Structure 1
Amino acid sequence: MCGIIARIGETDDAVDELLVGLENLEYRGYDSAGLAVKNGRGPTVFKREGQISNLKDLLANEVPSGELGIGHTRWSTHGPPTDENAHPHTGCSDRVAVVHNGIIENHDALRTELSERGHYFKSDTDTEVIPHLVEEHLADGATPEQAFRRTVQRLSGSYAIAMLVDESDAIYATRSGSPLVLGVREGKYYLASDVPAFLDFTDEVIFLDDGDVVVLEPGHHEITTLDGEPIERPTQTIDWDPEDAGKGAYDHYMLKEIHEQPTSLRQTLRGRADPVTGDIHLEDFPPGTFEDVERVQFVACGTSYHAGLVGSNFIGSRGLPSQTFLASEYAVSRPPVDENTLVIGVTQSGETADTLAALREAKDGGARTLAVTNVVGSTAARECDDALFIRAGPEIGVAATKTFSSQVVSLSLLGERLVRDVVGHRSEGITDVLSALSDLPDHVQQILDYSKAHRIAKQYHDSEAYFFIGRGSVFPVALEGALKFKEISYEHAEGFAAGELKHGPLALVTPATPVFAVFTGRHDQKTLSNVKEVEARGAPVVAVTSDANEAVVQHANDVLTIPETHPDVAGILANVQLQLLSYHAAEQLDRPIDKPRNLAKSVTVE
């Protein structure tokens, strides 16, 4: 879950561009940061524990010049965040500098082997075995490229690696199970874990596959297999403006991305549904695409898992057998699949390791796979049989916001396509659903303009715990509301199916535990009964509902209001209110909202 950036060109301003890339990648890790630059001599390494600002302070007095360099921002897996554990790592002679994302699973055996041959190690990381292995091959007479390839052949696990070597003015890189993308600009090349790293410099990219080996020289690049066979990879243009990946006038990326939802939802919906005729127009999925499907399985993690639950509820309630699984569990205990099973991987980045593992497991079992993702060219999009892009634009905040909304809308449209192909007819009342979806951007804007979430967050800021409940299609929204709250406020928060409160969680309810109850206009009386159980124990209740729902409003201590809409769409609006609630709660506690402790945006390790 670390971030890699590399740059090579004919000008000696590599460090300046590497620092920009590191700052653009800081959402992938912020435990420590470092870079290595080269200009006519061996790699010079600079690295510091903590945020990138610490590294910039180290470089403040003198910025080293160089035409090529590598950089890294770390999210710790092996060893605590310290100067020694920060990347880049070098070997015994400092001839080789390496940055790495992923996990080298056989690093213990390699470290023992290298130590027995006289190598000494300075860090606790798994990465450090890589430069030591390269040094050995160089000492045996291998060229830098040969040494790199032979070293990679010894590694087991997941990795993206970039390397500098004293004897060469090239950058050597490869990937296996961790993302790496090549940016192309006249006279320059960039390598990064994610496109936003180099969007300031180029929007021309080449997405690399597992097993690709890249050698970069000024004005020239070569992509081959590990055995040296040449590979052609297409160059694509990314339709993201660099400003889309910046904070603009907002204090935090998260708040910016919450407020971007009207725009991202319009992008998700554009050209895909006609609320007048009820037609669905998904680019690569014309009518009949899924007529052989008999059952659907969703696999996902975190926020994407909650979106998958909403998608499963949508199509399951319309007659198509559907289940949602945590990808990490699916990968180790796959349910039965066959050629008539469609397995949908929901992943914002398209690089989530657990989700990729689940999709590969499903494919090995004979299932058809489909990625629902935000990133064109991502591993999930390339490995699955099909891909549907949510078109939400870049999301930098660790806490997912606009991508959840766009995922749910995309899954609703995909779900209707599936229902029509498999069940054989349109969903009952689908024109009302599509009409509500078309109104969604404007309804979200109303919430953003008039939300009382700031006041509610302040009112309950000193509570002992926070509970979120929902029923049916908004049970996943309750889970998502609790997840957002806990991950950025660090306060204890739990989401429950409303009917399950009385089967155990009610023991936790006290006057110091506010309960946020989500209502959609469907099953409200049952959820209201659960609210009364809470009130009987003295807990304050905040209802998330429309003003028109008078019976609910009368029983709540406070209300977070959403515009009146179709029950299948109300959860998206409720979620926006809960996003704002979490944001303001964290802000009042002075939490690092965009960089919550122990978390990173793209989880590329299992």
Structure 2
Amino acid sequence: MCGIVGHLGPSNSVDVVLEGLRRLEYRGYDSAGVSFISKNDELLVYKKEGKIGNLEAELEGKDIHARSCIGHTRWATHGGVTDYNAHPHVSTKDGIAMVHNGIIENANEIRNELKEQGIYFESETDSETFLGLLIFHKRQGTPIKEAVIKSFERIEGFSAFVVLNRETDEIFAIKKGAPLVCGSNEVNSEVFVSSDPYALAGMATRIYFPEDNVLCHLSVKNNQLLNFYELDGSKTHRYMSKEQTIDHDPASKGDFEHYMLKEIHEQPELIRSLTQYYFQGEGKESLESAIKLPMDAISITACGTAYYAGLVIKDYFESNNRIRCFTEVASEFRYRNPILSQNELAMFISQSGETADTLAAQTMCKEKGMKSLSIVNTEGSTLYRDCDVNLMIRAGVEIGVASTKAFTQQVLTGKTLSEVISNGGMSDDLRNSLSSRYSLLAERVEQLLDNTKPIKDVADAIYKYKGFFYTGRGAYFPIALEGALKLKEIAYVHAEGYASGELKHGPIALIDEEKVNVALVGEDLFEKTVSNIQEIKARKGLIVSIGPKGKEDLREISDHYIELDFDGLGDLAPLYVNVVNQLLAYYIAKNLGTDIDKPRNLAKSVTVE
């Protein structure tokens, strides 16, 4: 979840690392810090609680030039949000600095052992125990490369570490189950390391994804600036290499106030481009491979927003293909003893491709001999590398912590696979049909985005209420769950999603004049859904209905009625409704003055349990 950046080269490394950290701040913003070797050959560290702006203020006016630097933006797991718990952790005496992303599960055991050896700890973090191990080995006379390996071998849990060594002016990086990417720019003789390839966009021309337990060595002393080693010290090719294709525009928010709003507005064009990618572009081969996978049943595993996308995809496969599907929350699935079959498909959904629980679930299915398919946004991510087939959602970089466009693209990617299977393969007729339907959805979303005033007016009227119940039936139930999650994430208000028919089984006891029911109403089961709304209305709940236009009975029972044109959308209508949910959450959060792009306590990519 934390952001890591390292650089070695002729440019001022501190500037390079700070730029990378700015891009990764959405991964954690409890604190930020940098450590570098100065022109006087001193190992220096600057770190501050809070957002990167606090660190930049600390550095302002200082004459800093460095050819090597590592940096970190933190999402706290162990230890409070303080300056001394911020990374990098440094021993100036031993000339070592390190940053860490992940959780060291045996940290207490290691800490106690090292204290007995006279190692002193300055922070409350689990991360500092890795620095303690490095110090211990170095004081035993162990060369730094071997010290990194020996220290890493003691660690239990998923982690990535980056180490800066003053004596040799080198950077080492290694990981197990956590994201790590290296980069190079041969023209500029620069090498990089990060937890996310986005940090290296526009800087590295080539990126490398090392496998677990591979030591990455960044050094100007070698013929190659970047080398990879096994834990026994031998050179290895256990990494994937590709050209860097991610673009970065420093002003990428454009005229939008927040990244989240920008990403909501990007959805129409992304929707239109999906069929072209899968029927005429690079995605065609992946889609053809996907339909050949065993599918007696499908196990769909994900977390958060991706899990809710999986619920919608489940409806498509069961309704259109009559394939039995099981949806699982990855954090629970990995610790159960599920019944799995090699004739079934294991499907995993993740924006980042680095979600720790999802990766663990994928590993478990792989060990059981199941074929696996990812619906993923990040090419080269761990999930992408480990699955048999990958379907890219083509959402582009998503900066806002609360996912918007990725949800839409995940669902449509699953929908596309379902349609191709139902059709018995790919064809021009299917391509034309899907293109037409997706274009209609994109058009309706554009019309919605061109006139957001009705949604904003509703947000203005309800933002001070104390609780929100999102309800829906059938395909709208997952949309209700996702809508409630968006409001919780960015507005910090209590919100729950329920199947409309479940309200009488307990939740309706909470309804009073301080509660809002955001009722998602489709054309199917319309009368039953209206009946559920009337039950809430009778208990003085405020009703916000989002549903088909021109329904007078819905208008009569609603305090606020957001009318939508469902004509021709069919089973794509839930995605149309979800855009309303996204905008409603956005405007409520804006009224409440929260940090919409970087909501408290959250990080974009959950790379720890």
Name the TM-score class by shorter chain: over 0.9
For residue 259 of structure 1, the aligned residue among 246, 260, 265 is 265
- Post-superposition shift, 1:244? 8.2
**What residue is the counterpart of 1:490 in the other structure?**
492
**What residue is the counterpart of 1:532 in the other structure?**
534
Contact 1:265/1:392 (<8 A) preserved: no
SS of corresponding position for 2:286? coil
Q: Is 2:408 the counterpart of 1:405?
A: yes
Distance 1:68 1:496, change over 3 A: same
- Post-superposition shift, 1:454? 1.1
Q: How far, CA to CA, are the matches of 2:426 and 2:72 in structure 1?
A: 52
Q: How far, CA to CA, are the matches of 1:430 and 1:223 in structure 2?
A: 44
The letter for the 2-side match of 1:505 is P
**What residue is the counterpart of 2:451 in the other structure?**
450
Q: Is 2:304 the counterpart of 1:302?
A: yes
Distance 1:579 1:601, change over 3 A: same
Cα deviations by residue, 1:215-257 (Å, 9 ceiling, x for unpaired): 1123611012222232234431243321288322222111111
Cα deviations by residue, 1:509-546 (Å, 9 ceiling, x for unpaired): 12221211112211211111111111112222211123
Q: How far, CA to CA, are the matches of 2:563 and 2:208 in structure 1?
A: 45
SS of corresponding position for 1:576? helix
Distance 1:284 1:8, change over 3 A: same
Contact 2:293/2:371 (<8 A) preserved: no
The letter for the 2-side match of 1:339 is Q
**What residue is the counterpart of 1:24 in the other structure?**
23
Cα deviations by residue, 1:59-91 (Å, 9 ceiling, x for unpaired): 112042110000000000000110110000024
Q: Is 2:580 the counterpart of 1:577?
A: yes
Q: How far, CA to CA, are the matches of 1:409 and 1:388 in structure 2?
A: 11
Q: How far, CA to CA, are the matches of 1:126 and 1:281 in structure 2?
A: 42
For residue 358 of structure 2, the aligned residue among 334, 355, 360 is 355
Cα deviations by residue, 1:482-529 (Å, 9 ceiling, x for unpaired): 000011101111110011111111111122212111122112111111
**What residue is the counterpart of 1:270 in the other structure?**
276
**1:75-474 to 2 correspondences below 5 Å:** 75-91=75-91, 93-186=93-186, 187-218=189-220, 220-232=225-237, 233-243=239-249, 246-272=252-278, 282-286=284-288, 289-290=291-292, 292-318=294-320, 319-419=322-422, 435-451=436-452, 452-474=454-476
**What residue is the counterpart of 1:277 in the other structure?**
none
Distance 1:271 1:191, change over 3 A: closer
- Post-superposition shift, 1:418? 4.0
Contact 2:283/2:392 (<8 A) preserved: no
Distance 1:372 1:281, change over 3 A: closer
Cα deviations by residue, 1:397-421 (Å, 9 ceiling, x for unpaired): 1100000000110111122234456
- Post-superposition shift, 1:549? 4.2
The letter for the 1-side match of 2:16 is E
Cα deviations by residue, 1:167-193 (Å, 9 ceiling, x for unpaired): 111111111111011121121011111
Distance 1:506 1:234, change over 3 A: closer
- Post-superposition shift, 1:431? 8.2
Distance 1:139 1:320, change over 3 A: same
SS of corresponding position for 1:560? strand
- Post-superposition shift, 1:562? 2.8
- Post-superposition shift, 1:287? 7.8
Tell me which moved more, 538-547 or 592-601.
538-547
Distance 1:75 1:313, change over 3 A: same
Structure 1: stretches of 5+ with no match in the other structure: 275-279
The letter for the 2-side match of 1:50 is G
Q: How far, CA to CA, are the matches of 1:296 and 1:419 in structure 2?
A: 15
Q: How far, CA to CA, are the matches of 1:396 and 1:291 in structure 2?
A: 33
Contact 1:91/1:128 (<8 A) preserved: no
Q: How far, CA to CA, are the matches of 1:563 and 1:228 in structure 2?
A: 63
Contact 1:203/1:238 (<8 A) preserved: yes
SS of corresponding position for 1:485? helix
Count of aligned pairs between the two proteins: 596
Q: How far, CA to CA, are the matches of 1:80 and 1:576 in structure 2?
A: 36
Identity rate, percent: 40
Q: How far, CA to CA, are the matches of 1:588 and 1:471 in structure 2?
A: 29
The letter for the 2-side match of 1:436 is R
Q: How far, CA to CA, are the matches of 1:177 and 1:584 in structure 2?
A: 37
The letter for the 2-side match of 1:83 is D
Distance 1:551 1:63, change over 3 A: farther
**What residue is the counterpart of 1:522 in the other structure?**
524
Q: How far, CA to CA, are the matches of 2:313 and 2:177 in structure 1?
A: 27
Distance 1:143 1:265, change over 3 A: same
The letter for the 2-side match of 1:225 is E
- Post-superposition shift, 1:94? 4.7
Q: How far, CA to CA, are the matches of 1:385 and 1:306 in structure 2?
A: 23
The letter for the 1-side match of 2:19 is V
The letter for the 2-side match of 1:473 is A
Tell me which moved more, 27-36 or 261-270.
261-270
SS of corresponding position for 2:103? strand
Q: How far, CA to CA, are the matches of 1:271 and 1:142 in structure 2?
A: 52
**What residue is the counterpart of 2:479 in the other structure?**
477
Tell me which moved more, 377-386 or 128-137.
128-137
Q: How far, CA to CA, are the matches of 2:475 and 2:146 in structure 1?
A: 55
Q: How far, CA to CA, are the matches of 2:250 and 2:442 in structure 1?
A: 18
Contact 1:42/1:165 (<8 A) preserved: no
The letter for the 2-side match of 1:165 is N
Q: How far, CA to CA, are the matches of 2:406 and 2:333 in structure 1?
A: 23
Q: Is 2:35 the counterpart of 1:36?
A: yes
Contact 2:272/2:438 (<8 A) preserved: no
The letter for the 2-side match of 1:588 is N
The letter for the 1-side match of 2:437 is A
Structure 2: stretches of 5+ with no match in the other structure: none
Contact 2:177/2:356 (<8 A) preserved: yes
Cα deviations by residue, 1:353-406 (Å, 9 ceiling, x for unpaired): 011111111222222111110000000010111111000000011100000000
**1:541-552 to 2 correspondences below 5 Å:** 541-552=543-554
Q: How far, CA to CA, are the matches of 1:141 and 1:281 in structure 2?
A: 52
Q: How far, CA to CA, are the matches of 2:190 and 2:7 in structure 1?
A: 7
